Structure 1
Amino acid sequence: MSVAVSTLDGADLLDAYQAGQSSVFVSPRGTLLAEGVHSEVNTSGLADLPEQVAAVFGTCGHPVRTVIGAVPFAPDAPARLVVPRRLRRAPVLGAAPAVPAASAARESLPPIPDPGYVAAVARAVEEIQAGVYTKVVLARALRLAAPGFDPAPVVRALAYGGAGTYTFGIDLGGGRTLLGASPELQVARHGRTVSANPLAGSIPRSTDPAEDARRAAGLLESAKDLHEHTFASEAVAEGLRPYCRNLRVPSEPTLTATPTMWHLGSRITGEIVDPDVSSLALATALHPTPAVCGTPPAAARRAIAELEPFDRGFFAGMVGWADADGDGEWAVTIRCATAGPEGLDVYAGAGIVAASDPHAELAETTAKLGTMLTALGVFNVA
């Protein structure tokens, strides 16, 4: 990856992040700080995105040959991908400063009433049982007033707090920022190695160690959650198979922990066949996965349009970077918020299958909202 030489470490790059002037992406491989905009990728949707990025690399005449940004959920909505004026990279974050325990704070959140969501889940279960589709992911959105809000301290707290494997603060332009901490890797390519980690099947964590262990063990044995996870894992494997050889797909999921949730995850790896297939091309081939949409995708999209009373925007899209060599990392845009002049929109979703209980899905989405609400310091939501 082409980057400007920097002596800063990951903590320094996080400290240098300024919302509205830069974007930051933190992963297990290191921290990237993108400052300013040299070129922007102009695209009307998902279909031609990898080609448009390649065209920008070929014509921008800039030594930084990397894009960073976000792709929305809707396939016909414009992405926000830019070649920055300067891109700095640092190793993984070192020791974290003292931060509150997100899981403990999450336990203090009261239930967030949402009768509309409960009704939407109940209708989805009826349609699944009638054979209209097999799974759909239904989301909730909370609007919070936030005059003068600065995303930077929240992004730093998420990066240090272990709230997710992939932390991001992406400048969307117009005074808007996409921020969050996603536990889910959509796809990464480093050299010839391709990896993905679909997550599906979840349960809220507990601050009581014994209860937390019981919930984790129960998730591994839950027929409903294992069924839901199978949809996501098989879809990602099928999406990658045309591009990869030696594809390794776990026969059973393992546990992935965040401070607020236990998830079922499957680490899928393979070797790229055609070196001209970039990480972004792989990511667009997988988007959207059943973990954020459902199956079959077309029917699930129709259900989402009918049952969700808001535009997802960049929620349930993908966020990350790609360079001119084809390498890159793309996380699924979950556990996130969009901040702007109009306030903060916070999102969370849950996978609905035939055995779903509407009130349990409400509790799951409340726990997932807890990641962002805790980082924002919000503990009481009417």
Structure 2
Amino acid sequence: MPVIDEGPHMTSHLPSHLYFAATLYDHLLRYHRGDFVFSSPRQSIMASGIALEDWAGGHAEILERADQLLARAREQGWRRALLMSAIGFDVSAPSRLVIPRYVEAMPQLDHSAIPSAPVSSVRRDQPAQLTAMTPTPQAYQDLVSKAVRSIREGEFEKVVLSRSLSVQARIDLAALLATLAQRNPAGYTFAFDRQHQGQQRTLVGASPELLLSKCGPHILSNPLAGSLPRSHSVAENQRRANELMHSEKDRYEHALVVDAVATALAPFCKQLSVPPEPSVLETPTMLHLSTAISGELHGADTSSLALALALHPTPAVCGHPRQPAHHFIQQQEGFDRSLFTGLVGWCGQDGNGEWAVTIRCADVGDDDATLYAGAGIVEGSQPDKELTETSAKMGTMLAAMGLESLMEASL
């Protein structure tokens, strides 16, 4: 019988100076746009205000500006400042780097203190309306077919194709974050503000995928690839988990990602542990093949941000080989992913930190939101099943917003 787990675990590594909140859930309900949130199974951070800020694009410049910000914070007496950021799928695009002024944290979200009834996150003074889907369901299936032909012609082995769904709705971000944290206790709930064409927008989501966590010399990465929608039936979930574990297509897709992550981390590590078999990670809407890769660095000097950028973008969000898959996405997908399939998280002055893959997310404005989901395409991928998978993945955000009725429209 396949193992269904809730993901990897690592000892909490929050800086000792942080204020510890009684319950993160209560604080999420008091969230204000502009605050920063990153909650994981190991620790939760809620921050506000801006002590220092900068923008950077490209791997080298992001790392240089991040180091400069943390050095300036140290010079100003912030001995254990945190840098928080959300970096896009295209690393060359400008990314916002922030050292918050105020930080509240707790080692782990106390789910026993969370009420069972979800809080409504859509304000009922304006009925929600579906305004756009890019690509359309039929166009997405056609694109999957085109990608499979490219794979057969040897252009690449895997490519991740995504969709976006835009709705007109007034979203209560505090209620949305609280609901996401409630429903995704093993995930990574986040909120990070960005500027887009002069407007303030918020990246918000609950990712199931850990890109990189670092505590001293110890690191952890948990790539996910190979998925099926989750059922409400325990017995059916076990059947689907077994199907995933024995699916040649899904195991191949997963192996591509695991091999790429292990190869990227190997030069940094004196010891790297890669389990020979994946397990099945269960989320509220999906089942994923999951492999928790752990390692010990040659030294603790390399930061969590540097390691995360060395991995990004993995084949879980781009494809393999990276360059031809990335080119196909840029030419064919039809929209700018922006922060979707990027990375979001934090890094401390000691280099410790935690970064999640930016999936199961939405870009939220004052009266609109755009949701995203993607699926990995390999030899044997079937367009109708990939469309169903992307709709199921959008279900995380649609359900948290109370917009389950739009699920059918996304098919």
Q: TM-score range by the shorter chain?
A: over 0.9
Which residue in 2 is equivalent to 1:108? none
Whether the aligned pair in 2 keeps the contact of 1:127 and 1:133 (CA below 8 Å) is yes
Q: Does residue 1:116 correspond to 2:139, yes or no?
A: yes
Which residue in 1 is equivalent to 2:307? 282
Q: Distance in 2 between matches of 1:199 and 1:217?
A: 16
Kindly state the Cα deviation for residue 342 of structure 1 after the two structures are TM-superposed.
Answer: 6.3
Would the alpha carbon gap of residues 76 and 99 (structure 1) be closer, same or farther in structure 2, given more than 3 Å must change?
same
Identity among equivalent pairs (%): 44
Whether the aligned pair in 2 keeps the contact of 1:73 and 1:312 (CA below 8 Å) is yes
For residues 1-382 of structure 1, what are the structure 2 equivalents within 5 Å? 1=15, 3-6=17-20, 8-20=22-34, 22-60=35-73, 61=76, 63=78, 65-94=81-110, 95=112, 96-99=114-117, 114-147=137-170, 149-162=171-184, 165-173=187-195, 174-341=199-366, 343-381=368-406, 382=409
Give the stretch that moved more between structures: 43-52 or 252-261.
43-52
Residue deviations 1:298-319 (CA, integer Å, cap 9, x gap): 0000110122111000000001
Whether the aligned pair in 1 keeps the contact of 2:213 and 2:355 (CA below 8 Å) is yes
Structure 2 gap ranges (5+): 1-14, 119-132
Would the alpha carbon gap of residues 9 and 210 (structure 1) be closer, same or farther in structure 2, given more than 3 Å must change?
closer
How many aligned residue pairs are there?
A: 370
Kindly state the Cα deviation for residue 17 of structure 1 after the two structures are TM-superposed.
Answer: 2.2
Kindly state the Cα deviation for residue 135 of structure 1 after the two structures are TM-superposed.
Answer: 0.3
Whether the aligned pair in 2 keeps the contact of 1:23 and 1:34 (CA below 8 Å) is yes
Kindly state the Cα deviation for residue 274 of structure 1 after the two structures are TM-superposed.
Answer: 2.6
Kindly state the Cα deviation for residue 2 of structure 1 after the two structures are TM-superposed.
Answer: 5.7
Kindly state the Cα deviation for residue 4 of structure 1 after the two structures are TM-superposed.
Answer: 3.6
Kindly state the Cα deviation for residue 12 of structure 1 after the two structures are TM-superposed.
Answer: 3.7
SS in 1 for 2:169: coil
Whether the aligned pair in 1 keeps the contact of 2:363 and 2:370 (CA below 8 Å) is yes
Residue deviations 1:210-266 (CA, integer Å, cap 9, x gap): 222111111110000000000000000001001112100011111100011100010
| TM-score of the aligned structures, taking structure 1 as reference length | 0.93
SS in 2 for 1:48: helix
Q: Distance in 2 between matches of 1:254 and 1:7?
A: 33
Paired AA for residue 194 in structure 1? I
Q: Distance in 2 between matches of 1:310 and 1:283?
A: 25
SS in 2 for 1:122: helix
| TM-score of the aligned structures, taking structure 2 as reference length | 0.87
Whether the aligned pair in 1 keeps the contact of 2:158 and 2:320 (CA below 8 Å) is yes
Paired AA for residue 250 in structure 1? P
Kindly state the Cα deviation for residue 10 of structure 1 after the two structures are TM-superposed.
Answer: 2.5
Kindly state the Cα deviation for residue 13 of structure 1 after the two structures are TM-superposed.
Answer: 3.2
Aligned-CA RMSD value: 1.7
Would the alpha carbon gap of residues 3 and 14 (structure 1) be closer, same or farther in structure 2, given more than 3 Å must change?
farther
Would the alpha carbon gap of residues 62 and 365 (structure 1) be closer, same or farther in structure 2, given more than 3 Å must change?
farther
Q: Distance in 2 between matches of 1:194 and 1:46?
A: 20
Residue deviations 1:7-44 (CA, integer Å, cap 9, x gap): 53333432342223x11110011210111111113212
